[in-house]
Chains A and B, each alone.
Chain A
Amino acid sequence: QQPVQSPQAVILREGEDAVINCSSSKALYSVHWYRQKHGEAPVFLMILLKGGEQKGHDKISASFNEKKQQSSLYLTASQLSYSGTYFCGTARSSGNTPLVFGKGTRLSVIA
């Protein structure tokens, strides 16, 4: 079942923060975050596994609340390069399980 992402779109000025949410009605094993720029393939950002954890690098971090089956991606002090569409992909088990992607969140960072 497709996870639900919110918001659908967001416009930020450079330096502002944003939060993108991804929720599922089914129990999840992992949540994967990707960023896709126009005309390109998705680029892996990070993966969170069940057990409830938080990860981050540079100014992008994410959390996974296993009880709520919800993950959030945090973008702080946004840069123009952060613009793109962010997708969460979810897997209900480990191993060679395909990801089910949300509809995406279009992020535009303006100067």
Chain B
Amino acid sequence: GAVVSQHPSRVICKSGTSVKIECRSLDFQATTMFWYRQFPKQSLMLMATSNEGSKATYEQGVEKDKFLINHASLTLSTLTVTSAHPEDSSFYICSARETASGGDETQYFGPGTRLLVL
């Protein structure tokens, strides 16, 4: 199957700082990527849909000014958590689906980024 990578896998930062998380599709192009957040023992909750070359679409309740998304190329989307606070500590996971015609509907997840804000 297709491979999605994320970097970093784990990050610890001080409250008030910003953290950037990268999501890359390694062997396919993706015009759309999705960012999810998962708190301990809970389900994956969609935060936003990242669209290449245009603005991201945010889910209700997700602050677009706090979670900045940039999808500058067909293989890279970035999520920046600005002015992070302890309540932002979570497991952030991206997913992508191959854009090419004939690509199946499967959404492939990256390995996730565990963020801890002190």
Contact = CB atoms under 8 A, between A and B. Distances in A.
Contacts of A87: 43-44
Contacts of B112: 40-41
Interface string B23-61: 000000001101000000011111001000000000000
Contacts of A2: 43
Interface string A25-60: 000001010100000111110010100000000000
- Looking at chain B's contact residues, the main secondary structure is loop
Contacts, number: 52
In the complex, which range does the number of interface residues on chain B fall in? 20 to 34
Contact of B105 (A42, A47, A102): A47
A55 to B, nearest CB: 12
- Pick the most buried of B43, B104, B110, B112: most chain A CB atoms within 10 A of its CB: B43
Given A89-B107, A96-B32, A96-B97, A42 B1 contact: no
Closest 3 CB pairs of A and B: A96-B32, A41-B112, A101-B44
